[in-house]
């Protein structure tokens, strides 16, 4: 298959909240990240670099291996607030066509990164520099925010945070997300017409009967 896989665009359009619910409340990356470019939403296959302690040598290799549409996941086995990406590395990722960066460490040159426009979610903003002594590992599974991310899994990021969909579940989750979106659209029409979720979910009737 040539070109970008449209399923990733659909996941980004549906959004983290809808996809997380449609996936059975699985795949949440339960960590606080700073969205450097508010209003952006991206999804793509995971390209992973697991760095050595306080080190970013693996990030340079990841930039060389990045392909258009990748969401690049940069992490450490024990993340610390050391800047593994700044202006120059982010420029390389953008030139390589990365859809976005998920950085379970720090970035620096934050204002310049915002001007660059590459969607970036970072755990911290710190200027403390990284070493370049450990090669690290490219494209091995990693746990970020309590969730396993494997190479090729879908990583999606927007203003609600970050979620992961296992590669083999993408089709099912896209279908479930569309169904959930349609259901919510119908509910929204009812609410605009004066309906109340208290009634539509049966909560009022249950409360009047004294049910828990």
The predicted model gives 14-25 an average pLDDT of 98
| Whether residue 211 has pLDDT greater than 80 | no
| Whether residue 178 has pLDDT greater than 50 | yes
| Whether residue 3 has pLDDT greater than 70 | no
What's the pLDDT at 12?
Answer: 98
- Work out the pLDDT band at 4, boundaries 50, 70, 90: confident
| Whether residue 202 has pLDDT greater than 80 | yes
- Work out the pLDDT band at 1, boundaries 50, 70, 90: very low
pLDDT tens across 128-148, in order? 999 999 999 999 999 999 999
What CA–CA distance (Å, rounded) separates 50 from 100?
17
Name the more confident of 183 and 2: 183
What's the pLDDT at 163?
Answer: 98
The predicted model gives 23-40 an average pLDDT of 97
Cα distances (Å, whole numbers) of residue 13 to 6, 41, 99, 115, 174:
11, 8, 14, 23, 10
Question: How do beta strands 83-85 and 100-107 pair?
Answer: parallel
């Amino acid at each position: 298959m040539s070109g970008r896989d449209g399923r990733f665009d659909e996941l980004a359009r549906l959004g983290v909240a809808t996809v997380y619910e449609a996936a059975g409340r699985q795949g949440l990356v339960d960590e606080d990240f700073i969205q450097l470019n508010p209003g952006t939403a991206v999804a793509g296959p995971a390209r992973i670099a697991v760095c050595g302690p306080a080190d970013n040598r693996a990030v340079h290799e990841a930039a060389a291996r990045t392909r258009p549409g990748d969401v690049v996941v940069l992490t450490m086995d024990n993340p610390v607030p050391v800047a593994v990406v700044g202006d120059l590395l982010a420029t390389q990722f953008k030139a390589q066509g990365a859809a976005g960066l998920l950085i379970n460490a720090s970035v620096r040159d934050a204002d310049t990164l915002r001007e660059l426009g590459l969607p970036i979610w970072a755990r911290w903003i710190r200027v403390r520099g990284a070493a370049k002594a450990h090669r690290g590992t490219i494209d091995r599974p990693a746990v970020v925010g309590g969730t396993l991310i494997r190479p090729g899994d879908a990583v999606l990021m927007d203003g609600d945070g970050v979620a992961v969909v296992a590669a083999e579940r993408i089709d099912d989750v896209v279908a479930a997300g569309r169904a959930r979106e349609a259901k919510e659209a119908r509910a929204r029409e009812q609410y605009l017409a004066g309906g109340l979720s208290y009634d539509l979910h049966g909560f009022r009737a249950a409360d009047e009967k004294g049910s828990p």
